[in-house]
């Protein structure tokens, strides 16, 4: 195969992989990873370490040379970091909060099962959102209404109420 043909073939593979990433992950992984690099003020190599993937592998996924992250725990950690960006302490950009979030994710041992995709129980991300759309009384009324048929949702609402009083 001539050099020009090889470049065309490589380009086709990258474009196919980026299309697969859009289908599987909602957007190219390079875009998601770059946002994390900026949000946490780390290098790609540092982020790779936190995610539990080699830096070259992360680079290949970002560039579209590879279509997917093969290890579900790595993807789970990436999602955990994306969610942590939304937490109030990390959103401030305080270096200690950023480092704490990175350390939490690095040390996590997420498991992926058919019934749950891990976020390491970090539902606290939902609390500020719930409090923005409803006051304590409304959250309590909703929890009371949902308790019988949807006890897990009712308990989430109650935890949002308790978190507001801290």
Higher pLDDT, 105 or 152: 105
pLDDT confidence band for 37 (50 / 70 / 90): very high
Lowest model confidence (mean pLDDT) among 4-8, 111-115, 140-144? 111-115
77 and 50 in contact (C-beta within 8 Å)?
yes
pLDDT of residue 95: 95
Using 50, 70 and 90 to split pLDDT, how confident is the model at 79?
very high
For residue 58, give both structure tokens. Answer: 């992360």
Instruction: Compute the Cα dihedral for 126, 130, 136, 139 and give only its sign.
Output: negative
C-alpha 39/C-alpha 48 separation (Å) is 14
Residues 147 and 134: their CA atoms lie apart, in Å, by 17
The CA distance from 161 to 95, in Å, is: 28
Q: How far apart are CA 51 and CA 32, in angstroms?
A: 13
**pLDDT over 70, % of the chain:** 90
Helices 3-25 and 29-40: crossing angle, nearest 10°? 70
Instruction: Establish how many alpha carbons lie within 13 A of residue 95's alpha carbon, considering only the half-sphere containing its beta carbon.
Output: 1
**Residue 134 confidence (pLDDT):** 86
Mean pLDDT of the chain: 87
Domains of the chain: residue spans and CATH: 1-107 (1.10.260), 123-163 (no CATH)
Least reliable range by pLDDT among 38-47, 51-60, 93-102, 140-149: 140-149
């Amino acid at each position: 195969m001539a050099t020009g043909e090889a470049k065309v073939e490589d380009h086709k593979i990258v474009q196919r992989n980026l299309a697969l990433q859009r289908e599987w992950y909602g957007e190219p992984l390079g875009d998601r990873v770059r946002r994390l690099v900026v949000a946490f003020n780390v290098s790609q190599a540092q982020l790779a370490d936190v995610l539990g993937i080699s830096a070259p592998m992360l680079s290949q996924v970002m560039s579209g040379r590879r279509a997917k992250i093969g290890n579900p725990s790595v993807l789970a950690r990436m999602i955990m970091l994306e969610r942590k960006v939304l937490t109030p302490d990390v959103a401030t950009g305080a270096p200690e909060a950023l480092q704490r979030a990175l350390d939490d994710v690095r040390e996590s041992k997420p498991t992926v099962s058919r019934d749950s995709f891990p976020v390491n129980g970090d539902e606290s991300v939902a609390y500020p959102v719930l409090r923005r759309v409803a006051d304590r009384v409304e959250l309590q009324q909703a929890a009371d209404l949902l308790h019988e048929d949807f006890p897990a949702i009712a308990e989430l609402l109650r935890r949002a109420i308790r978190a507001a009083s801290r």
